């Protein structure tokens, strides 16, 4: 996709489609007013005829414009004529791009950066247009014979005046980086488990390191992990024919002595549940259990592309979770790298077994903060639905920063309590803890488990089990929360700390 800023006046523009906004009560946006004037009142006619009421998210495509170099105009309803909320702005953009999945539309000029959005500037709007458009045109065709995609859009230009150009361009650069990171995360999530193995994920990380010299990639093998004493992590991979990998990505563009931000992503390339086997229905979707890891790759891609002046470490513990003669059995007790012992009462609670050793390993880096991202519990969907990411952590300031970043990015998170009282549920008669707290508050007890390995630093946990994937008709990876985390990093780079 080619993204650019377009400063040519609308009267002289040549393209397949121009997107302009219309507010309720037949009120035209500035660009719609200009286009209306140079098309002998065409837009007013359509709106007055009642073809578009101006409700947010409504669209009308005018696909014949007499005597014009513009082939078509897409009118998008924006709602009331006042500053839009960030959410409504996104809704209008999604509606716009979804109505442009037509064979004849290849080049698009979007005039929606002129709309006022509450507390947001042009840079944000420009970034958001790119993120939303890129997300909507993404289609996974890698394993299909027919590579045709519904959208034929090749070029997206954001309309701006000369004075707006610099801010709009800054947003474009960010938007492109985040969109590319999100695309990578979605692509890896959509790949099947027989292609996207731990080895494949490691190769992808190595490729990323070749593309961005600021990223140094290292892959720890099972023998290295055994030497480090990662007994919890290795107990999961023992049941799989695929060798486990601990992928580390080192991005050092901050001050030499600045403590790094560590991102840890769960990389289960297939989670069958192990001996505590999952039911057959829907099990094919468990290929997306590596989306936390894929998010780490996506976010580091975005950070490297934006050249953020930060030090960031990405860690991706990657394995399969399979039933096997050598797999973990319920009742087995393993010793984690921290020395703490764990009674595995449910082999399907495997993510935390990988993550606990990765958290202990993160201590090596003397981190400023550690954020883990994991498709950890089905329970997060019960608590919060598929709308928002579950957030838990041991540091209020870090959690608030992540909540704020999610708000700005339109990629929200919501915090759940991590109180002492919940720790009770992890009591074991035979080891220091069990690996499952049972049904009640499953997302919280999973985080309680992780928290026991994150006592030495500021830490937050994002449970993305319900938001990283879309089920139903158009199923696939969503790329969340690449945008939230990219925004967090942009904020950190900005504050210089
Ligand atoms: N990968 C799953 C969590 C999951 C569930 C992700 C649904 C995506 C969709 C995780 O490994 C798991 O199986 N968790 C168990 C924990 C339980 C055994 C304590 C769960 O959520 O049932
Ligand atoms: Mn599981
Ligand atoms: Zn899992």
pLDDT, tens only, 48-64: 999 999 999 999 999 99
Q: How does DSSP assign 280-321, residue by residue?
A: STTGGGGGGGGHHHHHHHHHHHHHHHHT-SSEEEEEEEEEEE
* 216 occurs within a structural domain: yes
Helix axes 291-306, 198-211, angle to 10 degrees: 0
Q: Is 214 in the same domain as 350?
A: yes
The closest ligand to the CA of 272 turns out to be 2
Q: Is 436 in the same domain as 376?
A: yes
Using CA positions, which residue lies closest to atom 13 of ligand 1? 348
CATH number for the domain spanning 397: value is 3.40.630.10
Residue range 239-251, pLDDT digits in tens: 999 999 999 999 9
Q: Is 463 in the pocket of ligand 1 (CB under 6 A)?
A: no
Q: Is 230 in the same domain as 118?
A: no
Q: Is 154 in the same domain as 188?
A: no
Beta-sheet pairing, 458-463 with 389-393 = antiparallel
Tokens matching residue 251: 């991005």
Average pLDDT over residues 454-467: 99
Nearest by Cα to 93 from 30, 135, 34, 122: 135
pLDDT value at 155 more than 60: yes
pLDDT number for residue 460: 99
Question: 257 Cβ partners below 8 Å, 6+ apart?
Answer: none
| Distance in Å, CA 428 to ligand 2 centroid | 20
Q: Is 202 in the pocket of ligand 1 (CB under 6 A)?
A: no
Q: Is 131 in the same domain as 245?
A: no
Tokens matching residue 372: 């883990």
- Substitution site in 377, 426, 443 for ligand 1 pocket (most atoms within 8 Å of beta carbon): 377
Q: Is 50 in the same domain as 84?
A: yes
Average pLDDT over residues 263-292: 98
Q: Is 444 in the same domain as 312?
A: yes
Q: Is 289 in the pocket of ligand 1 (CB under 6 A)?
A: yes
Q: Is 267 in the pocket of ligand 1 (CB under 6 A)?
A: no
Residue positions annotated with a catalytic role: 278, 352
Using CA positions, which residue lies closest to atom 22 of ligand 1? 378
- Substitution site in 286, 321, 376 for ligand 1 pocket (most atoms within 8 Å of beta carbon): 376
Q: List, in sequence order, every beta strand (DSSP E) within 328-442.
A: 333-335, 341-343, 369-374, 389-393, 413-415, 433-434
Q: Is 147 in the same domain as 199?
A: no
Nearest by Cα to 275 from 210, 219, 331: 331
Q: Domain count of the chain? A: 2
Helix axes 165-190, 122-137, angle to 10 degrees: 30
pLDDT value at 495 more than 90: no
Q: 279: helix, coil or strand?
A: coil
d(C-alpha 233, C-alpha 319), whole Å: 8
Q: Is 348 in the pocket of ligand 1 (CB under 6 A)?
A: yes
d(C-alpha 334, C-alpha 328), whole Å: 9
* 176 occurs within a structural domain: no
pLDDT number for residue 288: 98
Beta-sheet pairing, 17-23 with 27-28 = antiparallel
| Distance in Å, CA 351 to ligand 3 centroid | 5
d(C-alpha 491, C-alpha 82), whole Å: 28
Nearest by Cα to 242 from 179, 165, 324: 324
Q: Is 130 in the same domain as 217?
A: no
d(C-alpha 88, C-alpha 161), whole Å: 24
d(C-alpha 53, C-alpha 50), whole Å: 6
The closest ligand to the CA of 379 turns out to be 1
CATH number for the domain spanning 154: value is 3.40.220.10
| Distance in Å, CA 408 to ligand 1 centroid | 29
d(C-alpha 481, C-alpha 298), whole Å: 10
- Substitution site in 320, 378, 450, 466 for ligand 1 pocket (most atoms within 8 Å of beta carbon): 378
Contacts 24+ apart (CB under 8 A), 207-213: 208/249, 208/297, 208/300, 208/301, 208/304, 209/249, 212/301, 212/304, 212/305
The rounded radius of gyration (Å) of the Cα atoms in the chain is 24
| Distance in Å, CA 31 to ligand 1 centroid | 49
Task: Determine the distance from the C-alpha atom of residue 71 to the mean position of all C-alpha atoms in its chain, rounded to a whole number.
Answer: 34
Average pLDDT over residues 11-36: 97
| Distance in Å, CA 273 to ligand 2 centroid | 5
pLDDT level of residue 496 (50, 70, 90 thresholds): low
The closest ligand to the CA of 448 turns out to be 1
Q: 456: helix, coil or strand?
A: coil
pLDDT number for residue 231: 99
* 462 occurs within a structural domain: yes
* 206 occurs within a structural domain: yes
Look at the alpha carbons of 168, 174, 180, 183 in this order and tell me if their dihedral is positive or negative.
Answer: negative
Q: Is 344 in the pocket of ligand 1 (CB under 6 A)?
A: no
- Substitution site in 275, 353, 465, 467 for ligand 1 pocket (most atoms within 8 Å of beta carbon): 465
* 170 occurs within a structural domain: no
d(C-alpha 1, C-alpha 126), whole Å: 15
Number of Cβ within 10 Å of residue 368's Cβ equals: 18
* 164 occurs within a structural domain: no
The closest ligand to the CA of 441 turns out to be 1
pLDDT number for residue 473: 84
pLDDT number for residue 97: 97
Q: Is 335 in the same domain as 460?
A: yes
Q: Is 139 in the same domain as 207?
A: no
Are 153 and 267 contacting, i.e. CB atoms less than 8 angstroms apart?
Answer: no
- Global confidence as pTM: 0.98
Cα dist from 59 to 79, 91, 345, whole Å: 12, 11, 53
Tokens matching residue 425: 């549920």
Q: Is 447 in the pocket of ligand 1 (CB under 6 A)?
A: no
Residue range 110-134, pLDDT digits in tens: 999 999 999 999 999 999 999 999 9
pLDDT value at 497 more than 60: no
Q: Is 349 in the pocket of ligand 1 (CB under 6 A)?
A: yes
Tokens matching residue 208: 């990323």
* 397 occurs within a structural domain: yes
pLDDT level of residue 157 (50, 70, 90 thresholds): very high
Segments forming the whole domain that contains residue 11 = 2-159
Q: Is 473 in the same domain as 367?
A: yes
Q: Is 378 in the pocket of ligand 1 (CB under 6 A)?
A: yes
* Exposed / middle / buried, residue 211 (Cβ in 10 Å: 0-12, 13-18, 19+): exposed
* 168 occurs within a structural domain: no
């Amino acid at each position: 996709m080619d993204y650019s800023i377009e400063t040519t006046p609308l009267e002289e523009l040549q393209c397949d489609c121009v997107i302009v906004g219309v507010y309720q009560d037949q009120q035209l946006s500035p660009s719609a007013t200009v286009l209306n004037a140079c098309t002998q009142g065409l837009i007013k006619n359509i709106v007055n005829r009642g073809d578009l009421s101006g409700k947010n998210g409504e669209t009308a495509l005018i696909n014949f414009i007499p005597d014009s170099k513009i082939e078509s105009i897409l009118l998008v309803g924006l709602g009331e004529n006042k500053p839009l909320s960030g959410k409504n702005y996104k809704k209008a953009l999604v509606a716009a791009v979804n109505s442009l999945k037509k064979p004849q539309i290849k080049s698009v000029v979007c005039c929606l950066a002129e709309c006022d959005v509450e507390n947001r500037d042009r840079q944000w709007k420009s970034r958001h247009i790119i993120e939303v458009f890129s997300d909507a045109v993404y289609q996974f065709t890698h394993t299909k014979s027919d590579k045709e995609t519904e959208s034929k859009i090749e070029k997206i230009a954001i309309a701006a005046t000369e004075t707006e150009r610099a801010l709009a361009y800054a947003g474009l650069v960010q938007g492109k980086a985040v969109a590319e990171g999100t695309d990578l995360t979605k692509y890896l999530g959509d790949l099947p488990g027989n292609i996207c193995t731990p080895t494949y994920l490691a190769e992808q990380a190595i490729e990323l390191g070749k593309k961005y010299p600021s990223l140094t990639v290292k892959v720890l093998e099972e023998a290295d992990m055994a030497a480090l004493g990662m007994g919890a992590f290795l107990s999961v991979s023992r049941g799989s024919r695929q060798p486990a990998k601990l992928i580390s990505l080192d991005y050092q563009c901050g001050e030499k002595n600045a403590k790094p931000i560590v991102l840890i992503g769960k990389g289960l390339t297939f989670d069958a549940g192990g001996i505590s086997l999952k039911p057959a229905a829907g099990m094919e979707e468990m290929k997306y259990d590596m989306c936390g890891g894929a998010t780490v790759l996506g976010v580091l891609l975005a950070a490297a592309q934006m050249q953020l002046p930060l030090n960031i470490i990405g860690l991706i513990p990657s394995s399969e979770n399979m039933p096997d003669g050598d797999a973990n059995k319920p009742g087995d007790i393993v010793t984690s790298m921290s020395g703490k012992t764990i009674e595995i009462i449910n082999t399907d609670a495997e993510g935390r077994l990988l993550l606990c050793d990765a958290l202990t390993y993160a201590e090596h880096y003397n981190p400023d903060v550690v954020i883990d991202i994991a498709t950890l519990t089905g329970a997060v969907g019960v608590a919060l639905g598929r709308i928002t990411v579950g957030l838990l952590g041991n540091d209020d300031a870090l959690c608030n920063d992540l909540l704020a970043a999610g708000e700005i990015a339109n990629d929200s998170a919501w915090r759940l309590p991590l109180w002492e009282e919940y720790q009770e549920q992890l009591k074991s008669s035979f080891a220091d803890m069990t690996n499952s707290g049972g049904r009640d508050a499953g997302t919280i007890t999973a985080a309680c488990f992780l928290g026991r390995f994150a006592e030495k630093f500021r830490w937050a946990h994002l449970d993305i089990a319900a938001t990283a994937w879309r089920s139903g008709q158009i199923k696939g990876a969503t790329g969340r929360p690449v945008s939230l985390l990219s925004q967090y990093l942009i904020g950190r780079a900005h504050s210089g700390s």
